[in-house]
Structure 1
Amino acid sequence: MQVIEEGLLSLCMIVKNEEKWLPRCLESVKGVVDEIIIVDTGSTDRTKEIAQEYGAAVHDFEWNDSFADARNYGLEQARGEWILWLDADEEVDAEGREHLRDVLSQQECFFGRIKVVNYYGTFPVSYDRSHIMNQYRLFRNDPQLRFAGAIHEQLDVEALDLPRNSVFVLPVTLHHYGYLEETVAEKGKKERNLRLLEKALEAENHDPWLDYHYASELYRSEKLAEAFERVNVSIASFLKSRRKPPSLFYKLKYSILMALGSYEGGWPGIELAIKLYPDYVDLHFYKGVILMSMQKFTEAIEAFEYCLTLDEDHPSYLTMVGTGSFLTWYYIGSCYELMENLPKAEQAYRKSLELSDTMEQAREALQKLGVSESAPEN
């Protein structure tokens, strides 16, 4: 029988062949968590030895194609009153990491939410090349609360009747490196995930979230036409059951359209998505790109300027860093350049670079205009 001890914080992880990433992850929570539960699903490298060096309790689990089963096995071993769950390719930011323990003093809350920064592209990482989202990464150790889903597993919160104020927001940032190109290639994530999702989709009346996740994997595998078809299936499934499709579905749909170059295919549908999520900066950004591609430059600038009034670090959405700042200023500059208003184009490009010195497109645009990157003298 599982014994839960008050005042303890347990870290629960599932791993396989993570010797490259695991030390960084465990070092980031050293001295913050009270126990480390590692579920190993078949490592052949030094993963288990590294975990033990950090004082972890390592439990072997025979892989059965279910991430939820592996995570739940780890939960059964945890003694902590609260549980933090991480993946090996994640790292808790040093600034504020001690606030993870703040959940231990919460009497009414059931979940702890932290900011997750998902990097894309290649090393070295940059915050300007990331998507950010607040996620529930801490929760009370309750035998009724378990993960569900063979892949892209999620906590089955419907199993508990929780009050609306059951979430505690912590000033903690988590860095996730799992979507970097070399990480995805090293782990063969695309092939594995597609295989597991295809298996799960064979079930009748499957959760439309599976269609969304399958579309996401197809998108990352650059199978864009298939991805677009599948994400529309996921949206239609929600609408058919008279449920509001999650904002993530629309973000993916218009990301795919942008990648396909099918800008006019997003009009006027993007307006309907915005009606559902009027404060989602990414959707307004896509609207601006669509209008720009249709040569409606004045309307596009209006859409982009509205982006600048919205929060790109919104607690409810997955947002691309820059859609409410440097990326938007670059596109405003592009619109003005296409309108042959070069002074305003230059001003916007400079604003983009001022907000992000990694914005190479803005730097190249200034060079194309034949002006110096440095700010002009008054």
Structure 2
Amino acid sequence: MPSPGYGLERMPPQTVELSMIVKNEARTLTRCLTSVRAAVDRIVIGDTGSTDETISIAQSYGAEIVPVLWTGDFAAARNTVLRHSRCDWIFVLDADEMLDAGGAEKLKHLIQQPGPAAYDIWRWNYVLETNSRSGEQGGLQNPQLLAESHMFPAYVKSLNTRLFRRNPEVYFERPVHETVVYRLQTLALPVATAPFVIHHLGQAEDNKVDRARKNELYHQIGLQHLQANPDDARTCFELGLGELEHFKRPEAALSLFVRALSINPRDCNALIFAGVCMVRMQRYTEALDLLSRARELNSGSIVLDEAMGDAYFHQQQHAQAFAAYESAMLKGSASALVLAKWGVCKLYLGQREPGLQDLRQALQREPGFPELLDLVAVGAALAQDNPFAAAIARKRLPMEGTSAFHYALACILLRLSGDWTVHQEVVHEGLTRFPHDPSLSAEHAMIHL
């Protein structure tokens, strides 16, 4: 006889409760709870030590508050809340997430369906830059389904198991990036994909200090977990991502990805990001070897396409780079950098006007991104559109990371454009910041010729 609630044609009406852990989430909790309260029968919130208005806000929505002692383990905190569950289904959200109106309706309908024991739900992580990524997923254009997301140009998808039937054998594991997925696999329970998304706004809304603090916390918890579980390939991968994306240490990241691959040689994501590290370290032939192995396992990654394009581009294999960037664009990449790189490849392949058009379109997407402006200035110079190149190179000068090279490039392009008045201004400004740079000194000497 099947277990209650599994595979039966007729079931009693199913109930669902929202399960959360929070700390000092007053800024976003109202938005979150408002989005979901009509779809759930109960709200249970574990509080790990809030000192703001979080608890009073939660109580205003009828939430049951569970005090949770924080031990540095997200899974343990969530499992404390799970022990207070009573409904048939558990739905998990964080305070910086929400549903849209359509998602709430679909959630109510979904739990009444027989069959699956859990649902994976696509999470749209909104980002401030089109060039952002999350794991192997690249940035996609924001379709503006949610009013609260209108100011963000793109989102990055990630798949998370956030809805599951209440079952004492289904609980969270892993102290950071906690999940129930391994328990579901161990129990061989059926999992489907939900027909709605979770909107995650926190990644875009956090200020830099808060985001850095969170990244450091996750990193330290991950390091402790890996020390206790040295053969955990997933933790190696997650720590590697942190080293690469947050701390900008590709050498340290590479060692972790290689370690993950020694445990699981078919870890496609570890292959992709080991290849990305090799590109960052200018080891392009090795990068292409790793990325080609990844492509044999999964050809659907925008990040993989971009990394292959970069490796080919830096080896001056512009036709192959063009094909890789085009593949990323056809998959829906919203990245202004990928579009600009694709445009520069067109220039190298003799497609001047389409290439320049891509550069201008990329600038419209991310007009204040320094790396993009560097690429567009060089691409425009390659196309011998010196006035356009000079304007972009000059726009780059007040931005973060400006060096003497940027001033020298702007001076050269202004000189080639015949704009000697602005050339003189930039030379003097550059020499004020970099008084001993020989290239700027040479440009200064040309003023008096």
Task: Please say if 1:135 is aligned against 2:160.
Answer: yes
Asked if the contact 1:15–1:40 (Cα under 8 Å) also holds between the matched residues in 2, the reply is yes
What do residues 141-197 of structure 1 show as CA deviations (whole Å, max 9, x unaligned)?
11111111111111122331224xx31431x22222343484462261122122211
In structure 2, the residue matched to 1:304 is 325
Task: Please say if 1:56 is aligned against 2:63.
Answer: yes
In structure 2, the residue matched to 1:318 is none
Instruction: Using the TM superposition, name which of 361-370 and 63-72 deviates more.
Output: 361-370
Instruction: Using the TM superposition, name which of 191-200 and 255-264 deviates more.
Output: 255-264
Task: Please say if 1:159 is aligned against 2:166.
Answer: no
What do residues 67-125 of structure 1 show as CA deviations (whole Å, max 9, x unaligned)?
11111111121222111101112122334332111222210112223221123347987
In structure 2, the residue matched to 1:216 is 241
In the alignment, the residues of structure 1 paired with residue 248 and residue 257 of structure 2 have an alpha-carbon distance, to the nearest angstrom, of 14
Asked if the contact 1:113–1:168 (Cα under 8 Å) also holds between the matched residues in 2, the reply is yes
Larger Rg: 2
Task: Please say if 1:174 is aligned against 2:198.
Answer: yes
Distance 1:36 1:142, change over 3 A: same
Task: Please say if 1:33 is aligned against 2:40.
Answer: yes
In structure 1, the residue matched to 2:31 is 24
Asked if the contact 2:149–2:201 (Cα under 8 Å) also holds between the matched residues in 1, the reply is no
Q: 1:337 deviation in Å? A: 2.3
Secondary structure of the residue aligned to 1:88 is: coil
Task: Please say if 1:202 is aligned against 2:227.
Answer: yes
Query: Which residue identity lines up with residue 327 of structure 2 in the other structure?
Result: Y
Q: Which residue of 226, 231, 238 maps to 2:257?
A: 231
What do residues 30-52 of structure 1 show as CA deviations (whole Å, max 9, x unaligned)?
21211111001111221111111
Task: Please say if 1:68 is aligned against 2:80.
Answer: no
Q: 1:10 deviation in Å? A: 0.7
Distance 1:259 1:137, change over 3 A: farther
In structure 2, the residue matched to 1:109 is 116
Q: 1:346 deviation in Å? A: 2.6
In structure 2, the residue matched to 1:99 is 106
Q: 1:56 deviation in Å? A: 0.8
Distance 1:97 1:259, change over 3 A: farther
More helix by share: 2
Q: How many residues are treated as equivalent by the alignment?
A: 347
TM-score (norm 2): 0.69
- For structure 2, which runs of at least 5 residues remain unmatched after alignment? 6-11, 130-147, 389-449
Asked if the contact 1:119–1:125 (Cα under 8 Å) also holds between the matched residues in 2, the reply is no
In the alignment, the residues of structure 1 paired with residue 364 and residue 118 of structure 2 have an alpha-carbon distance, to the nearest angstrom, of 37
What do residues 230-282 of structure 1 show as CA deviations (whole Å, max 9, x unaligned)?
1221122112xxxx21x432343344445555545412321111111123333
After TM superposition, the structure 1 = structure 2 runs for residues 76-95 of structure 1, keeping only pairs within 5 Å, are 76-95=83-102
In structure 2, the residue matched to 1:344 is 354
In structure 2, the residue matched to 1:291 is 312
In structure 1, the residue matched to 2:22 is 15
In structure 2, the residue matched to 1:277 is 298
- For structure 1, which runs of at least 5 residues remain unmatched after alignment? 313-320, 372-378
TM-score (norm 1): 0.81
In structure 2, the residue matched to 1:334 is 344
